[in-house]
Structure 1
Amino acid sequence: MTIGFGFIGASDIAKNKMLAAIRNTPDCEVVSVYSSNFERGRAYAAETHIPHAASSLEDLLANPAVNAVYISTTNELHHPQTLAAAQAGKHVLCEKPLAMSLTEAQAMQAACQAAGVVFATNHHLRNAQAHHKMRELIAAGAIGKPIAARVFHAVYLREALQGWRLDKPEAGGGVVMDIVVHDVDTLRFVLQANPTEVVSLSQHFGMSAGTVEDGSMAVFRFDNDVIAQVHTAFTVPYAGNGFEVHGTEGSLIAKNVMHPAAQPEVLLRTARGDQFLELEANEVYSVGVERFVAAIQGQGTPAASGEDGIWSLAGALACLESARTGQKVAIKL
């Protein structure tokens, strides 16, 4: 059976990442797109060769050719759009962060469970081969007992994305909701542990004109007692990116693993010396789509479930609360 996707949101990521990922997955196609601006949606459909531009969300969800939706609208819209999709019996792959609050995200998960549809979060970074290798080595004891981790994920937000992310806190703008959610999810995946508390500082360096934070530095504690430093920013052009995990018997030192377009490098350092891991390039968005489709077909689970998305949202919200109050904040669902 061909699985028809409807795009809710005529977004940059949908066009430049997800469209190819879906079309490259067997028996999948994008059959409709909905934008809040119909003329923009119609132009988007023509440019991307999507056969139908929906005039409304209801129009898209009523389309019998749409079996699943990919939601990439601004963050405050994810909750009502997911509820509507679930009520219409459509499977849901939603961008991160899932919602603006844990209550909303949990309601989204409950609605999809009640409707019997698959609910997944588009956390693409956990699909990278580098992170799978790091997870496997840590689980196998290659670095002994993990002690500490460090994620550096500071970027320069390109001009095409410098819109609502910088001036609309009501839409979930700011670097924490945009990037820290990814870092929390990647840490959870690699460490196979959940965050329990965080202390955080936010930075307002000027890109956002003070309306939302454009930089953040946080320290998370996980339930395996690992502490992890996370640095994110919209304002840093030359930092590169990386992910380190240090243990009692060794360290994993990874570079270019927090951006799927970069060439990854992972070094295992132990008493036996340095060993670079053999890595193959993989299409992280395609992996996410393939796992989502397999789950729809009753073959396994999504790469990142709704619960995974709720955990990453919880970490990001606690990070913002810590920066606001100057206090350490507990993380719990």
Structure 2
Amino acid sequence: MLDALATTTGLGWGVIGFGWVAQDYAVPGLLNAGGRLVAVADPDARARRRATALGARAEADMRSLLEDPAVQAVYVATPNHLHRAAVEAAAAFGKPVLCEKPMATTLAEAEAMAAAVRRAGISFGTAFDQRHHPSHQAMREAIVAGAIGCVTAIRIAYACWVDAGWAGDNWRADPARAGGGALMDLAPHGIDLAEFLLGEPVVDIAALTQRQVQDYAVDDGALLIGRTAAGVLVQLHVAYNCPEALPRRRLEVLGSTGQLLAERTMGQTAGGRVWRIDGRLGLRAPLPVPDAGASPFARQMAAFEQWLRGSGDAAAFSLERDVHTMRLLDRAYASARPRAHPDEVAGCP
């Protein structure tokens, strides 16, 4: 529960890990949603200077942030291997937590985090911003209204170019810190989005991974296939080896009477286009998207605050669903098999 301060002012946020996602998207989102950036914890001096410029108190260590009563919720955006320590520390101080995806680097870590959250009795959510994209919410409403009949399949392509030098410290290419590659980073969004659109869980999953282009130790691409509890087939292509100029963000929902097609909606910003395609004549018509220009991050931060206040969508955040997603990622990696011939040269020449 929020204290009395939260009933009269915007939610006071503390941010642990002030990298580009926090700086460019999450913090602008929380401010746009009416929240307040109270404190930031990050070991990098440049990140702390940027936080100070925004009016936040900035420290290298998270303890003082967690001790501050003005911090009413914590957003964790550290590299993946540091999620557990940050979440468990916040739980010990009784702070609600919104944690970036993936929840952790391993299923075991995610389960340990979930146990700490339950013991502390705090509110916890994983930051799946794609379920808050206005286009995706419009697609869900269209599916529920029967716009494409009985849903048969979802196909998602979510790809980008992340080479070894993509960042000064590209921890996403380090298996110890990231927990995996493109599959670990991008597939959680696709899995959660499929479940959001359909209103039911993915129960079966398998994957193939590749290290085809990029020169690092994690997978730079993966194909996943799954099936929901009601039998809808789910296909995900995620990649770090797709040039940015190519079509690389596409979402299709197929049904017995039509199809929903979204292009360039998957990502951190609003925008893209959505169509309904008629199954009889193949005619394409734009799908109306209310509040189309709204930031998915701003909507996510607003939804989290409403959830903490006991209003809004009670199912917007779910610890059990987050652990379920980690179980699916664990099973997907376990199903991926090495090449039949270990001495075969991998990747493009």
Q: Secondary structure at the match of 1:281?
A: coil
Bigger CA drift: 260-269 or 80-89? 260-269
Structure 1 distance, partners of 2:145, 2:181, is: 37
- Aligned-pair CA distance for 1:275: 2.0
1:162 to partner: Cα distance: 6.9
Match of 1:232 in 2: 238
Counterpart in 1 of 2:255?
247
SS in 2 for 1:160: coil
CA distance in 2, matches of 1:123, 1:149: 18
Q: Report matched runs for 1:1-333 at 5 Å.
A: 1=5, 2=9, 3-26=11-34, 28-37=35-44, 39-46=45-52, 48-157=53-162, 159-160=166-167, 163-209=170-216, 211-237=217-243, 238-261=246-269, 263-270=271-278, 271=280, 273-279=283-289, 280-300=292-312, 301=314, 303-324=316-337
Instruction: Name the aligned partner's letter for residue 212 of structure 1.
Output: V
Q: TM-score with structure 2 length normalisation? A: 0.85
Deviation string, structure 1 residues 102-145 (Cα, Å, up to 9, x no partner): 34323323433433322111100111122112212222222121
Q: Which amino acid aligns with 2:229?
A: D
One-letter amino acid matched to 2:171: W
Query: In structure 2, do the counterparts of structure 1 residues 162 and 216 end up closer, same or farther at CA, with 3 Å as the change threshold?
Result: farther
Shift of 1:302: 6.6
* Cα deviation 1:81-108 (Å, max 9, x = unaligned): 1111011011101000111233432332
SS in 2 for 1:100: coil
Q: Percent identity?
A: 33
The Cα RMSD (Å) is 2.1
Change beyond 3 A, Cα 1:325–1:168:
closer
Distance 1:5 1:12, change over 3 A: same
Instruction: Verify the 8 A CA contact 2:107 2:326 in the aligned structure 1.
Output: yes
Q: Which runs of 5+ in 1 are unaligned?
A: 327-333
Distance in 1 of aligned mates of 2:16 and 2:81: 13
Residues 167 and 208 in structure 1, CA contact (< 8 A), matched pair in contact too: no
CA offset digits 1:244-296 (Å, max 9, x no partner): 11111211122112124363222212236332112222211011101111122
Cα distance between partner residues in 1 of 2:118 and 2:219: 34
Contact 2:270 2:293 (C-alpha < 8 Å) held by counterparts: no
**Amino acid corresponding to residue 319 of structure 1 in structure 2:** A
What number of residue pairs does the alignment pair up? 322
Q: Indicate if the aligned counterparts of 1:148 and 1:247 stay in contact, CA closer than 8 A.
A: yes
Deviation at 1:54, TM superposition (A): 2.0
Q: Is 1:215–1:235's contact at 8 Å kept on the other side of the alignment?
A: yes
* Contact 1:62-1:88 within 8 A present in 2 as well: yes
* Structure 2: distance between partners of 1:306 and 1:193: 16
- TM-score for the superposition, normalised by structure 1: 0.89
Tell me the distance in 1 between the aligned counterparts of 2:54 and 2:337: 45
CA contact (8 A) 1:153 1:241 kept: yes
1:303 positional shift: 2.9
| Farther off after superposition, 106-115 or 231-240 | 106-115
Q: Is the 8 A contact 1:169 1:212 kept in 2?
A: no
SS in 1 for 2:23: helix
Amino acid aligned to 1:30: L
Deviant stretches of 4+, over 4 Å: none
Question: Is contact 1:147-1:227 (8 Å) kept?
Answer: yes
SS in 2 for 1:310: helix
Kindly indicate whether the alpha-carbon contact (under 8 Å) linking 2:270 and 2:294 is maintained by their aligned counterparts in 1.
no
Aligned-residue offset at 1:179: 0.3
TM-fit CA distance, 1:40: 4.0
